[in-house]
C-alpha cells in the first residue's frame, strides 16, 4: 500500500516540488518548470470568448510569434474561498474541481461544494465521511463525475487512508447518485493476497468509470446505475489492467506475466463491457507505459524502473486496429513531461488535430540581461512522427504551461517577465501563433495575495468561457505559517 496519497506529494515535498506558474503569474518569480496538474484530454470544449484579431504587435507590446490582435480583456478576481482549517500536521487533501453549465464544484475537507458560476454563491454541499483520495476532471455529457474517498477508518499514516470507497454525483445539483466499495483483488500479478482495490486513478468514458489500482488490477462501474461492470480476475497468463485513461475513449494498459519483466499492451476498450476493441503490443524494452491521449491514441514508454518515470519514446496508434502509426524519440530532459506510476498521470503533452504538442523544458533566455528562464511549445505530426515547422515561444523571462486542448488549438498559461502581464493564450494548432484570451494584471494587491497561496505544482487549473479556475490540492500548516492565509480556490475572469 502506498505511503503517500496517489498523485499528491507529502507536505514535506511541497517546497522541493513547487509549481511556479501560479506564483509567477503575478510575482514574476524565476522558478523551475513543473507543469501543473492539467489532465490530458483530446479535443475539448470550444471557447467563444476568444477576442478578434487586428493589425499591430502582440497584446503584450512585443514582437514575436504572437498573433496580432486588439488589446485583450483584462481579468479580475471574481470570487474565491479560503481553505478550511487543517485538521492534522500532515495536511488535508482537497483536490478535485469540476464545471457544469451552471456550477463550479470544488472539493473541501470531507465535502464537495458547488458554487454558482455567475455569482460565486454556494448552491449545494455534499458531506463525505472522510477525505477525497482520488478524482478525475472528466465527467459524463449530463454532468456526472466520480470520486474516491477513504474508508471509514479515515487517515491511518501521515494523512493517508484506505482509498476504497467511490461515489458518483451530479455537478450541478450535488446529488450523490450511488456509492460503492471497491471489490477484492483475488490473486494479483504481483502475488498479493485477497484484499480490496486501492484506488489510484479514475477514468471516465462512455458512461463508464474505470478505477486503476496499479499493481492490484482494475475495476469499473456503470455511472448511471452504479452497477459493477468488471473487477480483477486471475487467469493463466497472470494478466491484469495497470490502469486506465478516459475522455473520448477508454484505454487500458494491460500487464501479463512476470511483474518484473512484463509483457505490456495498450487496449482500447468497449466501455460497456471492458472487452478490447484493439490491442497494441508494447515493445519489450519498456517496463512501464503511459497513455498521453486516449483519442487520438498516443502512449509513452519508459524503459527504467521506479516512480517519477521519464518518457523516452512516444507512439501514435490507430485506435481501431492497434497498428503503430509513428514513433517519436524524446531526448532526455528536453521536454517537460512529468509522469507518476499511474497510467493517466503524465503532465505536459496534449494531442489533437493530428498533432502532439509538447512544452520544452526550461532553458536560458535569448537575452542574458533578462532574469529567469523561458520555454516554448513544439508539435509533432502523429501520422509521421516528424516535427511540425514553427514553435510557440513564451518569450524571454516567460513560460508557457499547457491547460487543455480547444478543438485543434492549445489553451495555455503564459507567465509574465519580471515586470509585465501574464495571460491565458490560445496556440493555433496549425501555425503555433498565439492569441491572448485573457490578460492577468500584475498590479492588483488582492489578486497577488490570493495567487501566492497556490504554489504547489499539483494545483488544478480549468479555463472556460473567459474564466480561469484555480483549485488547491493539499492544505498544510507549514504553508499557512510561511505564506499566510491559504485559499481553497480562486476564479479569475473578464465577465
Q: Which tens digits make up the pLDDT trace of 62-92?
A: 434 666 667 888 998 899 998 888 877 777 8
> Other CB atoms closer than 10 Å to residue 329's CB: what's the count?
8
- Residue 287's pLDDT band, with cuts at 50, 70 and 90, is confident
pLDDT, position 165: 96
Q: Which tens digits make up the pLDDT trace of 365-409?
A: 999 899 999 999 999 999 999 999 999 999 999 999 899 999 999
Taking the CA of residue 19 as centre, how many other CA atoms within 13 Å lie in the half-sphere pointing to its CB? 30
pLDDT, position 126: 98
Contact 89, 454 (CB under 8 A): no
CATH architecture assignment, domain 11-493 = 7 Propeller (2.130)
Three-class SS state of 173: coil
- pLDDT averaged over every residue in the chain: 81
State the sign of the Cα–Cα–Cα–Cα dihedral 313, 319, 323, 326.
negative
pLDDT at residue 32 tops 70:
no
SS3 content of the chain, % helix, strand, coil (to 5): 5, 40, 55
Q: How far apart are CA 451 and CA 95, in angstroms?
A: 17
Q: How far apart are CA 451 and CA 416, in angstroms?
A: 14
pLDDT at residue 456 tops 60:
no
The CA-based angle 249-253-254, given to 5 degrees, is: 130
Q: Which tens digits make up the pLDDT trace of 134-161?
A: 999 999 999 999 999 998 765 444 445 6
The CA-based angle 321-190-244, given to 5 degrees, is: 35
CA–centroid distance for 130 within its chain: 23
- Average pLDDT (182-201) is 73
pLDDT, position 61: 37
**Measured CA distances, 180 to 37, 56, 141, 219, 223 (Å):** 27, 57, 22, 12, 11
Task: Report the length, in residues, of the chain.
Answer: 495
pLDDT, position 111: 96
pLDDT at residue 295 tops 80:
yes
Amino acid at each position: 500500500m502506498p505511503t503517500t496519497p496517489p498523485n499528491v506529494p507529502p507536505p514535506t515535498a511541497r517546497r522541493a516540488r513547487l509549481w511556479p506558474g501560479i506564483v509567477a503569474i503575478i510575482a514574476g518569480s524565476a522558478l523551475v518548470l513543473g507543469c501543473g496538474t492539467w489532465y490530458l484530454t483530446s479535443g475539448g470544449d470550444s471557447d467563444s470568448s476568444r477576442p478578434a484579431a487586428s493589425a499591430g504587435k502582440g497584446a503584450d507590446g512585443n514582437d514575436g510569434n504572437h498573433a496580432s490582435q486588439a488589446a485583450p480583456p483584462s481579468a479580475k478576481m471574481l470570487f474565491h474561498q479560503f481553505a478550511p482549517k487543517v485538521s492534522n500536521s500532515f495536511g488535508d487533501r482537497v483536490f478535485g474541481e469540476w464545471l457544469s453549465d451552471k456550477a463550479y464544484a470544488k472539493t473541501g475537507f470531507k465535502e464537495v461544494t458547488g458554487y454558482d458560476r455567475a455569482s460565486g454563491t454556494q448552491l449545494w454541499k455534499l458531506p463525505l465521511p472522510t477525505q477525497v483520495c482520488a478524482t478525475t476532471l472528466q465527467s459524463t455529457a449530463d454532468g456526472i463525475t466520480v470520486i474516491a474517498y477513504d474508508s471509514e477508518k479515515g487517515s491511518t499514516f501521515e494523512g493517508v487512508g484506505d482509498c476504497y470507497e467511490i461515489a458518483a454525483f451530479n455537478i450541478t445539483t450535488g446529488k450523490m447518485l450511488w456509492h460503492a466499495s471497491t471489490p477484492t483483488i483475488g490473486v494479483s500479478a504481483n502475488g498479493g493476497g485477497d484484499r480490496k482495490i486501492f484506488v489510484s486513478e479514475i477514468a471516465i468514458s462512455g458512461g463508464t468509470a474505470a478505477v486503476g489500482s496499479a499493481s492490484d488490477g482494475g475495476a469499473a462501474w456503470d455511472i448511471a446505475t452504479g452497477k459493477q461492470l468488471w473487477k480483477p480476475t486471475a487467469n493463466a497468463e497472470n494478466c491484469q489492467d495497470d490502469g486506465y485513461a478516459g475522455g473520448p475513449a477508454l484505454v487500458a494498459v494491460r500487464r501479463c506475466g512476470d511483474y518484473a519483466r512484463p509483457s505490456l499492451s495498450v487496449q482500447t476498450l468497449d466501455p460497456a463491457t471492458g472487452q478490447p476493441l484493439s490491442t497494441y503490443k508494447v515493445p519489450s524494452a519498456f517496463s512501464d507505459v503511459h497513455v498521453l491521449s486516449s483519442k487520438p491514441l498516443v502512449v509513452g514508454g519508459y524503459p527504467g524502473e521506479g516512480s517519477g518515470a521519464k518518457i523516452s519514446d512516444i507512439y501514435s496508434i490507430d485506435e481501431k486496429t492497434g497498428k503503430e502509426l509513428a514513433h517519436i524519440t524524446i531526448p532526455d530532459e528536453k521536454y517537460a513531461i512529468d509522469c507518476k506510476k499511474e497510467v493517466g498521470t503524465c503532465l505536459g503533452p496534449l494531442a489533437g488535430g493530428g498533432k502532439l504538442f509538447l512544452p520544452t523544458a526550461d532553458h536560458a533566455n535569448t537575452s542574458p540581461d533578462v532574469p529567469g528562464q523561458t520555454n516554448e511549445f513544439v508539435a509533432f505530426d502523429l501520422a509521421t512522427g516528424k516535427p511540425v515547422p514553427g514553435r510557440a515561444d513564451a518569450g524571454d523571462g516567460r513560460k508557457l504551461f499547457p491547460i487543455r486542448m480547444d478543438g485543434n488549438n492549445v489553451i495555455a498559461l503564459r507567465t509574465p517577465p519580471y515586470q509585465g502581464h501574464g495571460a491565458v493564450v490560445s496556440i493555433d494548432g496549425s501555425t503555433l501563433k498565439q492569441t491572448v484570451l485573457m490578460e492577468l494584471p500584475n498590479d492588483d494587491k488582492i489578486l497577488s495575495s490570493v495567487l501566492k497561496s497556490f504554489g504547489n505544482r499539483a494545483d488544478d487549473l480549468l479555463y472556460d468561457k473567459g474564466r480561469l479556475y484555480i483549485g488547491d490540492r493539499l492544505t498544510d500548516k507549514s504553508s499557512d505559517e510561511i505564506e499566510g492565509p491559504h485559499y481553497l480556490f480562486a476564479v479569475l475572469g473578464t465577465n
